[in-house]
Amino acid sequence: MEKTKLIATISENKNERQQIEEFIKSGIDVIRLNMSYSSHDVCRRLINIINETNEKLGTNTAIMMDLEGPCIRTGKFNGGKAFLNTGDKIRIYMNEINGNMTGFSVNYPNLVNDLKYHTKIKLSKGNVILQVTEKGLDYVVCVVLKGGEVTNNSKIYLPETRPSRKFLTDKDYQDVIFANEMGVDFITVSSLSSAEDVLEINDLLIELKNEHIGLLAKIENNRAVEDIDNIINIADGIILDRGDLGIEMPIEIVPNIQKKIIHKCYEKGCLIIITAEFNSFMTKKSVPNRAEVSDLSTLVSEAIDAIMLTSETTIGAHPIDTVRIVSKIIKESEGSIDYSYFFRKSLNEKQKSITSTVSSSVVLGANELDCKAILVATNFGRTARRISKLKPPCPIIAAASSNEVVKSLQLHFGVLPIKADGKTLEELTENVKRKIKDTLKLNIGDKIIVTGGYPFKKVNYTNFMQIDEI
């Protein structure tokens, strides 16, 4: 099994049921729904298909819902698109119009007040750049610094402006309610500017009495980067969107930001997920180039928790092949992870609990005895998460009786969550051994370490470890 988890985005299409089954068979750990482009009816159908496929295959693929956030977008254009010529002047209207090469509308009426003279506006993934030259009561005049094509509902990037728009939109509010109703496992908080934005979604989940959904903060702009320490302290995980970050900020500083955020997440025990950059898969070409392979391999060697595929598996030409190729690259690249480095780094941290101390001892024992697996009997998943942070070279088998706990662990590095029951620890262990023997290709005499709380199911912390042989 690959330790680095893989997320695939899906959308409505005529082959959605077959695609979902192929994704899950290919080892996708989490399936992402992008609420910027999906309705509740479509998502309800897709979620039902995922659940039915999990039942059919005996898998536990989790579901992530990506909120649109307070995203500012263009309105519609005549014919669906327009070409803006370099040097031309165009108007951005606060009221809805049918756009063309001379002007277009936006979905945020207060943009006219937020923008300042000479600030830049980016469209079409940064390929079109405008600069504010005049302002009226309900419009802005811009000169086109870099021309290009703009399409309906294009995302607007404001690298030099902090919008005053409220964070929790009516759409996002309804989407969170829907996620709670449908039993979604993770919510991605998009277009955020600070930790306060994450807290708004967290407060809503508290109102809904939902303790299961994990909150993932997507870092897409300079404002979020500046508040990254506070965001990491609040969120369950960070998604680094390098594509949008490279539009909002000078692209040459993105690699250093990436390194810093990875290490901050590692130190805090926060999930770190990074978006893939496979433009090759957006065309009929089904093989990535060397630079794309090298980029992914470098990310995997950093022992990040997960890679996220977005457009590659929605509008890309070869979604199934993409997943299979990326899985192969991940598997090959994991051989370059320096597990001992991550373990030594974790040992330098102050241990403040019995669970932390036992977890460190478990990983040390697994390393010295060349154990083939660590089996964690867990009620809430805390020990599995702690051991995942220590980056052992062997798989972490997290056995839980709750489907919610199993799915909550699907994004953690090296963790293979399994639903298993047993009245005693011995019974649970034997049940899990039978399930993983073929998956992990265990042989007679192979060692595994078992850890959990004793007495079984009566304590809520980890206090023992034992070494078993197959």
| Domains, the chain, with CATH or none | 5-69+165-334 (3.20.20.60), 78-151 (2.40.33.10), 339-469 (3.40.1380.20)
- In the chain, what percentage of residues exceed pLDDT 70? 98
pLDDT digits (tens, 9 = 90+) for 81-138: 999 999 999 999 999 999 999 999 999 999 999 999 999 999 999 999 999 999 999 9
Q: Which residue has the tokens 């320490």?
A: 229
Choose among 294, 301, 262: nearest CA to 280. Answer: 294
How many CB atoms are closer than 10 A to CB 137? 6
In whole angstroms, give the CA distance from residue 368 to residue 175: 48
What band does 445 get if pLDDT is binned at 50, 70 and 90? confident
Give Cα separations from 291 to 65, 297, 332 (angstroms). 30, 10, 16
Provide the pLDDT confidence category of residue 326 given band limits of 50, 70 and 90. very high
- Mean pLDDT over residues 199-216, rounded? 97
- The number of beta carbons lying within 10 Å of the beta carbon of residue 412 is 25
Tell me: the pLDDT tens digits for 250-267?
A: 999 999 999 999 999 998
Average pLDDT, integer, range 421-429 = 78
pLDDT for position 351: 59
Q: Which amino acid is at 397?
A: I
- Mean confidence (pLDDT) of the chain: 91
Indicate whether 283 pLDDT > 70: no
Which band of pLDDT confidence, cut at 50, 70 and 90, is reported for residue 285? low
Give percent of the chain above pLDDT 90: 71
Return the higher-pLDDT residue of 419 and 441. Answer: 419
pLDDT of residue 17: 94
Q: Please name the residue that has the structure tokens 């490279």.
A: 246
Grade residue 356 by pLDDT with cuts at 50, 70 and 90: confident
- Give the pLDDT mean for 339-355: 76
pLDDT class of 350 with cuts at 50, 70, 90:
low
pLDDT higher than threshold 70 for residue 73: yes
pLDDT class of 245 with cuts at 50, 70, 90: very high
Stronger pLDDT, 241 or 453, i.e. the higher one: 241
pLDDT, tens digit, 9 for 90 and up, residues 361-405: 899 988 898 888 999 988 889 889 999 999 999 999 999 888 999
pLDDT grade for 349, boundaries at 50, 70 and 90: low
pLDDT: is 273 or 281 the higher one?
Answer: 273
> Tokens representing 157?
């990037």
Range 410-424 average pLDDT: 89
Q: What is the DSSP string of 96-126?
A: ---BBTTEEEBS-TTHHHH--TT-EEEEGGG
| The predicted structure's pLDDT at residue 348 | 65
Question: Cα 169 to chain center, whole Å?
Answer: 21
SS3 of residue 81 by DSSP: strand
The whole-number pLDDT of residue 189 equals 97
Whether 287 has a pLDDT exceeding 90, the answer reads no
Once rounded to an integer, what is the mean pLDDT over residues 432-437? 78
Q: Write the single-letter amino acid at 470.
A: I
In the three-class reduction of DSSP (H, G, I as helix; E, B as strand; rest coil), residue 35 is classed as: coil
Q: Which of 176, 7, 154, 160 is nearest to 82 (CA)?
A: 154
More confident residue, 470 or 57: 57
